[in-house]
């Protein structure tokens, strides 16, 4: 039992020591990749999907480690070919807890929200020009840590809202961005 306790404490210390590697330079970029970097300038990345204006990539030749915490599943988001987001899938509840505790000690008390319908709990921090979100879907156990470069992620949000508005059905025959002379109530 003592060996397990010592192992957990040592693992936690290694994670706490190594996590500042992405925390200190978060304003400039993430793990050596500068925010707004063009995907064409980066080597080893392969595109895995596209959703709207955002392309998602992996760097399959790269496995990140934060001392004992192995992070094999890192996804990078690019808006108009510019780097703006990082998504890290977390594999275990223990790793999730250690990361949450580190984030709280580094960035302070998070804003916490819970969506009761799908049991999504989100811890979020704002750090300079970066928004950090730590998410857990309590029902299914999926966990993720995400970093968003705010100047570009705000543009992504606006573009996604515009697409949503364009796809939303209209109840009145009124043209978008025009003031009607009258609003027809019934049309027979």
What digits encode the pLDDT tens for the residues 18-50?
444 444 567 788 888 999 999 999 998 999 999
pLDDT at residue 147 tops 50: yes
What pLDDT is stored for residue 121 in this prediction? 92
113 has pLDDT over 60:
yes
Q: At what angle do helices 2-18 and 93-107 cross, to 10 degrees?
A: 50
Q: 9 pLDDT exceeds 70?
A: no
Residue 11, pLDDT above cutoff 60: no
- The H-assigned helical ranges of 2-84 are 2-18, 20-23
Statement: 2-167 belongs to CATH 3.40.50? no
> Mean of the pLDDT values across residues 106-121?
90
* The model's pTM: 0.70
Task: Report pLDDT for 174.
Answer: 53
């Amino acid at each position: 039992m003592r060996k397990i306790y010592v192992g957990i404490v040592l693992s936690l210390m290694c994670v706490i020591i190594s996590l500042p590697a992405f925390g200190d330079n978060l304003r400039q970029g993430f793990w050596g990749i500068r925010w707004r970097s063009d995907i064409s300038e980066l080597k080893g990345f392969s595109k895995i999907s596209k959703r709207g204006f955002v392309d998602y990539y992996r760097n399959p030749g790269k496995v990140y480690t934060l001392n004992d915490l192995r992070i094999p599943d890192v996804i990078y988001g690019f808006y108009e070919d510019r780097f703006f987001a990082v998504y890290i899938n977390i594999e275990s509840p223990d790793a999730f807890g250690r990361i949450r505790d580190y984030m709280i000690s580094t960035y302070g008390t998070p804003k916490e929200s819970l969506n009761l319908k799908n049991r999504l709990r989100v811890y979020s921090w704002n750090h300079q020009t970066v928004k950090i979100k730590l998410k857990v879907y309590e029902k299914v156990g999926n966990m993720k840590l995400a970093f968003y470069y705010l100047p570009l992620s705000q543009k992504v949000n606006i573009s996604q809202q515009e697409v949503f508005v364009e796809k939303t059905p209209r109840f009145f025959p009124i043209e978008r961005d025009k003031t009607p002379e009258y609003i027809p109530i019934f049309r027979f």
